[in-house]
Amino acid sequence: MGSLALDASVVIGLLDSADAHHERAVAELDRRAEEDVELLLAASAYAEALVKPLRDGTGDVVERFIERGLVEVVPITRATARAAAELRARHRALRLGDALVLATARANDAELLTFDDGLRRIARESS
């Protein structure tokens, strides 16, 4: 079984039917479900995915997604934090949250799934 690290953009799209990426997120995760992959979510991406639902009073949607055991929230370790800082040092346009997601994916030998074109480009360039 392989691992797939989800960016917050994927979780947000999946859980919000009004999001521009909703259909794409559903299709991507349906396709991956057939491959029996383990879904990972960096703790930083979990926090990012919670912001709008908490504002809207629907944070329980994200919590139910996590609690159903569909995805594992991965803590940010010291090594992962350092790897993220190194990525940020090399790529000035890379935001810290995205660097943490990419570093988490790499620390867990996971493929990265993101709808952020810039993050996807940096992930390919710096692999």
CATH class of the structural domain 3-121: alpha beta
- pLDDT at residue 19 in the model: 95
Helices (H), the chain: 8-15, 22-33, 43-56, 59-67, 78-90, 96-107, 117-125
CA angle 111, 39, 48 (to 5 degrees): 90
Q: What is the pTM of this model?
A: 0.92
49 membership: H or E segment, kind and range: helix 43-56
- pLDDT at residue 118 in the model: 93
Mean pLDDT by 10 residues, the chain (127 residues): 93 95 95 88 97 94 87 97 97 95 97 96 88
Locate the domains of the chain by residue range: 3-121
